[in-house]
Copies of this chain bind each other. A is one copy, B any other.
Amino acid sequence: MGPFRFNSDNYRKLLERYIATEDESSLYQAEQFSKLSMQNNISPEEIINIHIQSLKELYPDLPKEIDSSLNFLLETMISYGLAYQEFQTLREKQG
């Protein structure tokens, strides 16, 4: 893998590798991914969205129950996304 970049393709590749290997280094990459995504002002519900899309690309026959459950999770993250935007505004004010 080349230099680490923030994009959904990269998330899918990291996720795929973690599912196949369950190695700690992939989990470390997940952590790095989220730090980078925060630097890019990506909100938590966008991460959930990228996760859902990645999972659907990896498993086109994802069981309907799993698909529904992820929609539900996405909905719970929307309020957190709004709080996260407010946090960014507060942090900018603090300079």
Contact = CB atoms under 8 A, between A and B. Distances in A.
Instruction: Give the interface residue-count category, chain A.
Output: 35 or more
Interface string A61-95: 00101101101110111111001101100110010
Interface string A7-41: 00000001100110010001100110111011000
Given A66-B66, A80-B47, A72 B27 contact: yes
Classify the secondary structure of A's interface with B: helix
A14 B79 contact: no
Contacts of A83: 38, 84, 87
A4 interface: no
25 contacts: A14-B72, A18-B71, A19-B72, A26-B72, A27-B72, A27-B75, A30-B72, A31-B76, A31-B78, A34-B77, A34-B79, A35-B79, A38-B79, A44-B80, A47-B80, A51-B73, A55-B66, A59-B65, A83-B84, A84-B84, A84-B87, A86-B87, A87-B87, A90-B90, A90-B94
